[in-house]
Structure 1
């Protein structure tokens, strides 16, 4: 009985110490001085804002396609460069940046050509911007031009329709600001984290941290091949769509 009382007494003392320790931890985790929750180092990197941020990679300067190549044969891109813009040359094929990227902020401006009213739906001002060469943000003349919801301008092609249609009239410039996070794959080829994209079209959010389901296929379901960094690709869909002011900030 004596030993039992001793054990109980020791347990009681231990619980008391534990309680005091918990109280002490509570005090430490809720400091009363403001500087206890201030973080000074490392200092936040300075980026000078402007038309082109100081840390941006300029992918097209309005003068040269030196940063681009043909997807068809890996040779020089054969699109037309004139008046500060590059324009699709029908039959020249898709083009891609020579440099590959993972996570980024992309700025790109595009213009639908003046085309006859007889062209409708997907036949009018059609092109596309591919994240990592495989996930398409649709480019299309969607101004008073009805087509399927998940195929109009600002859509993740054949997956997610834009929240609204913010397309400028035919012949005017459109602006996309795209925030893209690449997928992360497991060692056995599964998806640990899917790709996500936010698209701001002419200052209006049309994709809000949208999950990309996989490759944007014309026919069939999305695929999820394992891959690393990839290029920015632009589509030749047969329409003379133009692009300008293309720059990217890696994140």
Structure 2
């Protein structure tokens, strides 16, 4: 009887620990998205912006994971210090319950609750030769913003149409993660697709924007001489997949992107050169609208960084 009890007890402990293992989408406070990756001895976290980073000094007991994190307030002055929180996750089947509690008892911040959802395993690499797409759909009519809207109503809107171009005008020139100006998204939402889009960054500005696939995965928009290179350079899936080489053009010239998203795998052709070939994308990228990879989502253009222009935006949805 004692051995049987111990067997059940150990099995329960292992199942509780296994409940945390896997990939989790996070619905963070302030309408932001995140991603949590958990294995037996490694935890990675993407918190709203930037890239996924390893978590140091975490504790894990049964179905509970806990660690400390410094969190900065969006658009806070540089001199304002970040607030340290103790963040605790508890697995509840396919969902996570999460609580942020200030580590400093004297802090004015209060405890905040948020949630997560377990994501399915990465599908096999698709055979793109067997994938069919429908007729191209124009997403931008060259006259007005029909079919588009700011992703958040509380931001300044710098988007307009001039001379047939979709233009974002913002005074921001740095690459800081947050900005006062709005991102722009399609009203329609999509699953898998092929996307054609062309962009131009102002000459001499070190411009930076991004094209989010389904509002989840950012394909980086910058120029060949940008300080952002490699996994954050032209044509990268920002912070997730590095392009094989820099195929970007100089600022002030038009760059042409052809992107394919199929079964969470991305192919990127920049200016006629394939720089990412059917690569798996393990989770959302910083700045995503959402992180649940099972849901359709919009094409979403980053406007809270620098000025940028787009044209010739067409999409071919996957034929089912």
TM range (shorter): 0.5 to 0.7
- Secondary structure at the residue paired with 2:139? strand
Aligned to 1:206: 275
Partner residue of 1:101 out of 183, 190, 193:
190
Alignment partner, residue 139 of structure 1: 221
Q: 1:125 aligns with which of 207, 219, 238?
A: 207
Q: Please, what is the CA RMSD of the aligned residues?
A: 2.6
TM-score in terms of structure 1 length? 0.64
For 2:155 and 2:249, the matched residues in 1 are separated by 33
Please tell me whether the aligned partners of residues 113 and 170 of structure 1 are also in contact (alpha carbons under 8 angstroms).
yes
Report how many residues are paired: 176
SS state at 2:267 partner: strand
Helix, strand or coil at the partner of 1:231: coil
Q: Structure 1 stretches of 5 or more lacking a match?
A: 1-46, 48-53, 117-123, 183-194
Q: Which of 275, 279, 285 in structure 2 is aligned with 1:216? A: 285
Corresponding position of 1:248: 315
* Deviation at residue 93 of structure 1 after TM alignment: 0.6
What is the Cα deviation at residue 88 of structure 1? Answer: 1.2
Provide the secondary structure at the position in 2 that maps to 1:60.
coil
Rg larger for: 1
Question: Of 218, 238, 251, which residue of structure 1 is paired with 2:305?
Answer: 238
Q: In 2, are the aligned partners of 1:69 and 1:75 still within 8 Å (CA)?
A: no
Q: Which has the higher contact order (CA 8 A, sep 6+)?
A: 1
**1:166-202 C-alpha deviation (Å, 9 max, x unpaired):** 11111110000011124xxxxxxxxxxxx11101000
Q: 2:165 aligns with which of 82, 85, 89?
A: 85
1:162 to 243, 247, 256: 243
Q: In structure 2, how many angstroms separate the alpha carbons of the residues matched to 1:171 and 1:148? A: 18
- 2:310 counterpart of 1:229: no
Q: Deviations over 1:131-177 (max 9, x none)?
A: 11011000012x23343411011001011111111111111100000
Q: Which whole-Å CA distance do the structure 2 matches of 1:225 and 1:58 have between them?
A: 26
**Equivalent pair of 1:198/1:207 in contact (CA under 8 Å):** yes
Cα deviation code 1:103-152 (max 9, x no counterpart):
11100000011235xxxxxxx210000011011000012x2334341101
Give 1 or 2: higher strand fraction: 2
Of 218, 233, 252, which residue of structure 2 is paired with 1:171? Answer: 252
Which stretches of structure 1, 4 residues or more, deviate above 6 A after TM superposition? Answer: 74-77
**Preserved CA contact (<8 Å) 1:68 1:77:** no
Q: Name the CA shift for 1:80/1:115 in 2 (closer, same or farther; >3 Å).
A: farther
Structure 1: how far apart are the matches of 2:196 and 2:251?
Answer: 20
Q: 1:76 to 1:65 in 2, by over 3 A?
A: farther
Structure 1 SS opposite 2:202: coil
